[in-house]
Each structure stands twice: as C-alpha cells, then as structure tokens.
A and B are shown apart, each in its own frame.
Chain A
Amino acid sequence: MSGGVDSAVAAARAVEAGHDVVGVHLALSRMPGTLRTGSRGCCTIEDSMDAQRAANVLGIPYYVWDFSERFKQDVVDDFISEYSAGRTPNPCMRCNERIKFAALLERALALGFDAVATGHYANIVTDAQGNRELHRAAAWAKDQSYVLGVLTAEQLAHAMFPLGATPSKAEVRAEAEARGLSVANKPDSHDICFIPDGDTRGWLGEKVGVARGPIVDREGSKLGEHDGAHAYTVGQRKGLNIGYPAPDGKPRYVLEVRPKSNEVVVGPKEALDVSELAGSRFTWAGLAPADPKTPFACEVQIRAHADPVPATAVVRGGELVVTPDAPLGGVAPGQTAVVYVGTRVLGQCTIDRTVSAVPVDARG
C-alpha cells in the first residue's frame, strides 16, 4: 500500500473478496525526509501514514517492510548506470520486476502469503488449462499492463490486480470516498519517486557528474556543445542550443547518446524512425508462444503512454526482434518494448539495438 487511492481500494476489494489481507507499505528510502518535498513519491512519511490510515479503516493489519537496500541496487543504481550507458530506463518497470513481484513477493511467500495484490490497472485472465495471462485493464486510459509486461509466469501466478476491471479512475475515487478512505482525493503520483522535484537531469548530473562534450551530426561534424550527455534522451528536441539552423531549416532531434565518447548525435526527425528493434533480455508474460521462432503478428508498445502499433515479432539469434509495420519514432535503447496480441501482454524485451528506417548512406 503506497498511501495512494489505488492500492487502498485494491486492498478494500481484496478484503471484500474474502481474502485474508495484510497491508504492506514498502520503505524504499533510508531517508524518507529527503523524498518529502515536491512530487508525491512512494515513500514519504505522509504516504506511509496515509497507507496505515487506509489499512485501519479497512480493519487489516499494516506493516512497513524495508526494501531500501534492494531498491537502491536494483532500481536507483540501475537507473543511473543505464543513463550513464546512454540508455533510457523505466524505473517503475524495474521496481515491479525486482521489488514488488520479486523481493516483496518472495518474502511474502516465505512468510506464508499466497499472493501480492497491487493497485495496478491490469487484468489477469486464466485460460482453460489454468495458465495465467496478463491483459490490459478495462480502463484503457489508466491501463498499466505496459509496466507489468516484465512479469513472468511465475510472478503472475502470485499476482492480483483488483482494479483491473474498473472502468475509470473516477470510479475508484468514488469507491474510496464511499468506503471512508481519506485518500479518495489524494493527487496521483507521477514522475520518478526517488527524484523529489522531478528534475531528472539535475539529479542525474549530481549522480554521474557533468562533463561538457560535443553535439555532432550523423557524419560526425561538430555542431555545438552539451553539458553532459546523460541529460539527453533519444527523440529530444529542446535544449540542444546549437544556435544555428540545419541546412534544410528543419528542427534537429537527438538520435543517439554515446556515453563513451561523450557525444550527442543529432539529426532530422525522420532519422528517428526505426524499422526494427531488438533485445536479448526478453521474457514471456505467461506461456511462451508455441513457436516463437516463426514470425507472428502483434502490436508493440515502447513507452507507458505510447500507442501500440502493429508489428511482427520473432525470436531470432537469441533476440526478440520486433518489426513495426510502419517506421516507428521515439525508440531509445534501454526502453522496454512490450508485445501485445489483442489485449494480452505476450512478452517484452529491453531494447538493445534499433535499425534506422533511413540509413545515413541512403539520404539524398
């Protein structure tokens, strides 16, 4: 229970469904005070108290479990090293994968629980053979199946998402109100919980240090200078400060971040389009496809709030390779590509490499 409205209502529904429910709040920082200002993260003192109050109202026991060390290693440090490597990680996904449905779940199972229920908007569907599948939530606007796409069959076997069938967030808030939960109107959390003021660049700058370096075009010509490659993400347009326009007058975008040479590569928007993306770290959210080495039609989603696009996927050479039907923009290494078939999450890969739809030598 994070102290937000979603997990409070999820707990309420689990209680009502007859489960023996215990509220657990994750302590993810050793110094909660430092996360207190600014954005509403997942481990402020206020959040812990809100979670406890919700548990009290529901009449369930409440405990705080400390996973700060694991969170630091598996989420925060991973976030820093991924950015330092020029990649764009999703820490919420890492948290689901390594903390909520790994460290927490394992501890819960060892202590005698059967499942971890969270306030995520997603559905678990069990097929005729008893295999569990992960599906999009009924409320597409709130659907969080993307950030759960990293879960494996083993993790899904012990996961519960009581909010999955809810048509809207408004309904969850109304239910919280009706149940007398004081968090009914608490603002949604957003941003990254361990970056208090939402200033990811500034925070990363403190962690990895700031080193000026060149901004170059795809041919390697220097166009300007940057204040640290970590501050740039693929697809970014603002903040390049090159000072003069491209020859064709069109805006430039970050195409690539090269941490080793501390270079930021920029170019035209079309150069962002990829015709293929692939990753060697892939998992299946439930049963693997019968023959993943034969290309199959799917949809691919590359960010939590991106639209899914039609694609073909295949496992080839130890990679999950996804070919969008039409060139796809805004794809950065380190992002997770979640593969869907209909509403079902089939699996995912962390993107290691992409193939540009417009190779350098093919340009006019």
Chain B
Amino acid sequence: MPVYLDHAATSPMPADVLAAYTEALRLVGNPASIHTQGQNAKRMLEEARERIAASVGADAVEITLTSGGTEAVNLAVKGLFWARNDVPSSGRASAGRAAPAEGGRVSRPRPRILSTRAEHHATIDALEWLERYEGAVVEWIPVDPLGRIDLDALERALADDVALVTTLWANNEVGTIQPVREIVELASRHGVPVHADAIAAYGYLPLHFHASGLAAMSVSAHKLGGPVGVGALAIARSASVVPLLHGGSQQRARSGTQDAAGAVAFGVAATRAAESLPERVERLRTLQRRMIDGIRSAVPQAELRGDSSPDGRLPGNVHITVPGCEGDSLLFLLDLAGFSVSTGSACTAGVPEASHVLLAMGLDEGEARGALRMTLGSDTTEDEVDAFVAALPDAVSRAAAAGLSDREPVLGR
C-alpha cells in the first residue's frame, strides 16, 4: 500500500463512521415525510446536525447541510452578498435596496467584497463570478510572505459599503492560520459580516463558531473522515443568507431532500474528531516536526513555506518548495516510489499551474513550480514519515536533472 500523505485532499473513513454510514443507508425514509419512517429519518438527521453543530461550537439551527465544502462556500459568499444587497428580482428601487443605475445595470448599495488571492478556488471563482454577473467589486487584500492577511490593509479597505469579508481559517496549501479573531473585530466596527472557509482547519484546530463572531463558516465532512459529498455552512442566527437552491425549503438556507445517512456519518466523524482533537493535534505536531527536521537535513535546499512556528500553522501540514525542481516531477517520482503527496495547487482539468497561493505570497513562478505538500493524518506513523524523508533526496536529484519545464531542450537543435 502506498503511504498516504495527502489528508488535506481527503481523509480515510474510520470503521465506526463507515458502519454508521452503511447502517443509515439501509433505512428508508425521507426526513420531510410525515409518517413514522420519515420521522425516524428526521430524528437521525437532527441528531447528526446537533453533533455537527457541537463540533464547531454552533447551535443546530445554525447548521445548513450542503453537498460539500464548495457549495457551502458558494452559499456563504453569494448568499451573504445578495442578502447584504437585498435585491428583489424586479430590481425596484427602495430604501436600502438596489437601484437600477443608468444603462440598466443594477447599482448595489454594498458592492464591495474583501478577500485575498490566497483563498481556495471555491472562494476566488465564486467572487469572480459575482464580479462578472452580479456587479460585485472585489478587493484583494494582500497577504504577507507567510500567507497571512495584511490586517492594516484590511482595516483601510473596510467601510460601510462592504458586503462581506471572506477568509480562510487556515490555508489549505501552506497551512497558514489566519487571524480570524482580528479580522472579525475589524469588520464588526463597520457591521460587516465575515465568512470563514474553515474546511482545511476543521478537525485540525479547535473551531468555535459562536466565540469567533463569524457570520458564516464552511466545513466539509470528508476532510475529517466523513463521506465526500457532505458539508455544512454554519450561519449565525443574526446573519442572513439568500439561498442558492430553491425548492422545498427543507433547510433554512437550502432546498433539496436532505441526505440523512450522509449527515449521520458526518456527525459520527465530527464527534470523533472533536473528542480526540487535543491528542491528535499533539501527535500531528510531533510528526510534522519530525518530517520538517528530516527534510531539512536530507534536502537542505528545500524551503519550508508558510509559518514555521507551530501556532501559526495547521498541524500535519508540511509544505516545501525545492529550487530547480518541477513539483509535478517530484509528485510523479514519489508516486512511483509509493508516496501519495500533492503539489498543493488546484489542478484544473489536469493542467498544472503554479500555485496561486504561493504567487500571492510573493514567490515568483519558478520558485512556485517546485511546490510539494504533505499532509499527515490520524493514521500516519513515524515509520511512514521516516520512509518519506528517506525517499525524498533521490526524487529531488532526479527531478532536478529533469529541470523546470520551460528549460530549453538540448535535443532537436
């Protein structure tokens, strides 16, 4: 079996989660049905919602279940933007509502959205869509070389016409933890709601939705051992989000038959992850340190990206760039050697691109191309970490020989 070092992509499902999932799948009953079977399904679903809510420090009523992290982020970003601009479909002008401007374009009372270029593509693409189709004006707040948002720039950009701020809780590529508390504090001075994409942080950091002061927070089940295709958006009671999906109004901010079995599995995984969090974090930090130290001595030219202090970085995340190597070459060679790792960057239709996160952090494209991300999980062992560190130098020397893909070939003149 290959050594799995890509837990940030998806995480294996523990046996008890799988058992709960399959058992729940056997039961028939739509949670919206009135009969007993429907009510049984509803009970399972709501118990699961309570578990999920408890795992993130929210109330069950604040949890809208979604088809995954991407939908949760889209619902948060678009839903908050629409709600803050409260646009009726007629476009009729009234106090606090969108007024049609000259040329028929809707003018928004709060067109601005603040975010960073180091967000996940779910956020970046949703924001660009809002700019293109919904008249949003997105302002990209810079991040520092560690990937952390520039709070001074954020403070300067904040004003009453900002619809929302959206930020990662922790970066999915380089693991940098964002100052969520400070972001919320700055935004709240202007009454601006903040959404945090906590998908990468969930299961790796303590999340407390109420204490955070966030308006909305996205999480996903499969990053902590739940099934793929289940996620949740926590929406504060005080916040308002316009739904993306319309229909039977099964949930506060979403229509569609609810996936009771998925929720049950999510709930078991969430409880499990929350209960074991302190020990797991400690264990992952030890393994993370072991891997970073190992890489530093085995491949001294490799550079650790993101925050090197444990408090600033997701436990279990190790992200390096290796000068003169193509991350794709490293990934390929390590894959052949039996290690599943990632270059960390989104891979649209399999076309590799330099990581937008690293570019946002100020790396040039050549440096960014040598990226390699290892993400450790509950099942990762010391032996696996050591085996990886032992395999890395050979991969690096071969990848360096292959060079960067824009290198001029010798063959063919």
Contacts and interface: CB of A to CB of B under 8 A. Distances in A.
A103 B349 contact: no
Contacts of B401: 110
A107 interface: yes
A155 interface: yes
Nearest to A108: B402
B413 interface: yes
A106 B336 CA distance: 19
A152 B332 CA distance: 28
- Per DSSP, chain B at the interface is loop
A241 B351 CA distance: 44
Contacts of B406: 69-70, 73
Range of interface residues on B (Cβ < 8 Å): 20 to 34
Given A63-B332, A65-B328, A111-B332, A70 B409 contact: yes
Nearest to B410: A106
Contact of A48 (B349, B399, B408): B349
A288 to B, nearest CB: 16
A313 to B, nearest CB: 20
B322 to A, nearest CB: 15
B121 to A, nearest CB: 15
A48 B348 CA distance: 11
A67 interface: yes
A49 interface: yes
A112 B405 contact: no
B293 interface: no
Contact of A103 (B328, B332, B398, B409): B409
Contact of B352 (A49, A66, A105, A154): A66
Contacts of B408: 70
Contacts of A30: 351, 353
Interface in A86-106: 97-98, 101-103, 105-106
Interface string B346-361: 0111111100000000
B2 to A, nearest CB: 12
Contact of B405 (A45, A67, A98): A67
Interface string B301-337: 0000000000000000000000000001100110110
Nearest to A69: B406
Given A107-B329, A111-B402, A112-B398, A64 B409 contact: no
Given A45-B349, A110-B402, A112-B398, A61 B412 contact: no
Contact of A65 (B398, B405, B409, B413): B405
A63 B328 contact: yes
Interface residues of A, number: 37
Contacts of A151: 412
A155 B411 contact: yes
A65 B406 CA distance: 11
Nearest to B404: A69
A110 B328 CA distance: 13
A272 interface: no
Contacts of B336: 61
Contacts of B328: 63-66
Interface of A: 25, 27, 29-30, 32, 43, 45, 48-49, 52, 61, 63-67, 69-70, 73, 97-98, 101-103, 105-107, 110-112, 150-152, 154-155, 281, 283
13 contacts: A27-B351, A30-B353, A32-B348, A45-B349, A49-B349, A64-B352, A69-B405, A70-B405, A97-B413, A105-B411, A106-B402, A151-B412, A155-B412
Interface of B: 328-329, 332-333, 335-336, 347-353, 398-399, 401-403, 405-413
A-B pairs with lowest CB-CB distance, top 5:
A110-B402, A102-B412, A102-B409, A69-B406, A45-B349
Given A66-B328, A70-B406, A107-B402, 5 more contacts: A25-B350, A48-B350, A48-B351, A49-B349, A101-B411
